[in-house]
Chains A and B, each alone.
Chain A
Amino acid sequence: MDQTAYEESPFSEARFADNPDPRCPCVLMLDRSASMAGPKIQQLNAGLQQFKSELLRDEIAARRVEIAVVPFGPVSRNSAFYPAGHFDPKPMVAAGDTPMGAAVAYGIDLVAQQKALYRSHGVTYFRPWMILMTDGEPTDSIERSISLVRDGEAAKAFSFFAVGVDQASMSTLSRLSVRPPLQMRGIAFREFFLWLSASLSGVSRSAPGTSIQIAAPTTWTIDT
């Protein structure tokens, strides 16, 4: 833009509304049960750190994406959403069982609370992403969560993705998730979090009527 033209613009005194950025919430429900011990939990912890730095590299995503982590085994009930800059994932220690049903129900609660918070502050938001990641079988009942996920997807309340690691029961994940579950290749947590941050970057800048380009998750999944 020609600087002189701008200086002379009759509109140059305009001031701009300072609305908060629309938010792009994402809940990670992460299995940290005893079976995750070893390289899996290490790579998962490293992946979360890398997820944070990837989001921070993208100015828009850093302002808009908000992350909540729900570790389960047992379910931590003090989760909250943090923007990438304030996201400080504590390294998880692998221990305990796999209360998948409770974790999913709690994650859905968190999403509903966060939407209410956004609305009360006049903050617009994108459809939340919910990601369940597990390497095992649920040790609690998942029946209630199955219907919560089904109802939530039908109402477009969130997008729910299930990721199976290692020996995860893919048939259980198929019952829980409306979308086909994804099976991670080896311990490709790094590739998974790269894909996730790129996908959320896309969502966080999407405009009405624009189709969001989500890359196929081929870098970290096994074709099933």
Chain B
Amino acid sequence: MDDRHLNSSLWRIIGASVIGRSHELAGTRCQDACRFAVVRHPGGDIVVGAVADGAGSAPASHIGANTVTATATALIEEHLLASNTEASFGRDDLTRVLEHSRDAVFEEARQHELKPGDLASTLLVAVFFPDRTLAAHIGDGAIVIDDGLLRVLSWPEQGEYANTTVFLTMDGALENARLYEAGPVARFALFSDGLQNIALSYATQDVFAPFIDSMLKPLGNPDVETAKLDAALAAYLGSETVNRRTDDDKTLVLGSRIHA
């Protein structure tokens, strides 16, 4: 995306989806996907980020994850660019984006002559305005924000069991999507379930700040180029250090406001 490394923006954003060891061994591809963009707006820069984790049992879930993240971010960008005031994008607009993104996955399935469930994925999408935050979440993974305190905005949605969650293509997924409104944030992290066990503390039901904080910290260092950080993030997520702790695909999108 052209907006990826906009150094002139008031935001610095990096992100990567990296294949997990179990998928490497099985010869499948990375089923996670992410997209992000900075929308230059008269009212101030707006950040749009999306993460999706394709279901392991769905044969074309990597297509679903790509389709849903690309569609959701494109629709939100389009909406924001078409409006003069940022405030025109609200809960209902975000709900419509979810509907249209789901429709896009169903359409993609038709074109591949597959069932929608074959493209099953989760979805996390967040829009960070200068003065507020809007987010939606279906399934697992998590959204962490720093609005003075590093905290979980959206916790993974799990069934009773460790290996169950909700996917966008399931019946009722949209009706049960979780929507969040919050104030402005200084930093954020969106991630897929491959990082849940190292980024969240289940005993305290809270973010494990030492992980997220040290991942966000380099973004605040103006001496390191964004493109380099972006590459370093992908390398780190694929490193032995991380792979020892998780064998699933892992996606992490990190954003930090730059203080001039």
- CB pair B236–A209 under 8 Å, yes or no, is no
* A195-224 contacts to B (CB < 8 Å): 203, 205-212
Does B235 count as interface, using CB distance less than 8 angstroms?
yes
The residue on B at minimum CB distance from A157 is B160
Are A209 and B165 in contact, CB atoms less than 8 angstroms apart? yes
B203-A5 in contact (CB<8A): no
User: Complex: how many Å from CA A206 to CA B161?
Assistant: 11
At the interface, yes or no: A47 with Cβ under 8 Å from chain B? no
A17 with B236, Cβ < 8 A, contacts A124-B162, A125-B161 known:
no
B57: interface (CB < 8 Å): yes
Q: Is A9's CB under 8 angstroms from B245's CB?
A: no
The 8 A CB mask of B153-188 against A (1 = contact, 0 = none) is 000001011111101000000000000000000000
- Chain A residues near B167 (CB-CB < 8 A): 209
Q: B245–A16 contact, CB under 8 A?
A: yes
**Is B89 positioned at the interface, with any CB of A under 8 Å from its CB?**
no
A12 to B233, CA, bound (A): 10
Q: B126 interface residue, CB < 8 Å from A? A: no
A11 to B213, CA, bound (A): 10
| Binding site secondary structure of chain A | loop
Residue of B nearest to A17 (CB): B208
| A143 within 8 Å of B (CB atoms) | no
- Does residue B114 face the partner (Cβ distance < 8 Å to A)? no
Does A22 touch B at the CB level, under 8 Å?
yes
Q: Mark A1-35, 1 if CB is under 8 A from B, else 0.
A: 10001100111111111011010000000000000
Q: Which of B56, B140, B202, B232 contacts A210 (CB 8 A)?
A: B56
**Bound: A12/B56 CA distance, A:** 29
Count residues on chain B whose CB falls below 8 Å from chain A CBs.
Answer: 50
Do B197 and A19 touch (CB < 8 A)?
Answer: yes
Known contacts A5-B235, A10-B232, A11-B236; decide if A19 and B165 are in contact (CB<8 Å).
Answer: no
Which of chain B's residues has its CB closest to A211's CB?
B57
Tell me the minimal C-beta distance from A73 to chain B in angstroms. Answer: 32
Q: Does A17 contact B235, Cβ atoms closer than 8 Å?
A: no
Q: CA separation between A7 and B200, bound complex, in Å? A: 25
Q: Is A122 engaged at the interface, CB distance under 8 Å to the other chain?
A: yes
Q: Contacts of A5 on B, CB cut-off 8 Å?
A: 235
A208–B165 CB distance below 8 A: yes
Contact code string B31-73 (vs A, CB < 8 Å = 1, else 0) = 0000000000000000000000111111001000000000000
1/0 per residue, CB under 8 A from A, across B226-242: the answer is 00010011011011110
Given known pairs A6-B240, A10-B232, A22-B162, the reply for A209 and B120 (CB within 8 Å) is yes
Most buried by A among B163, B165, B201, B202: B163
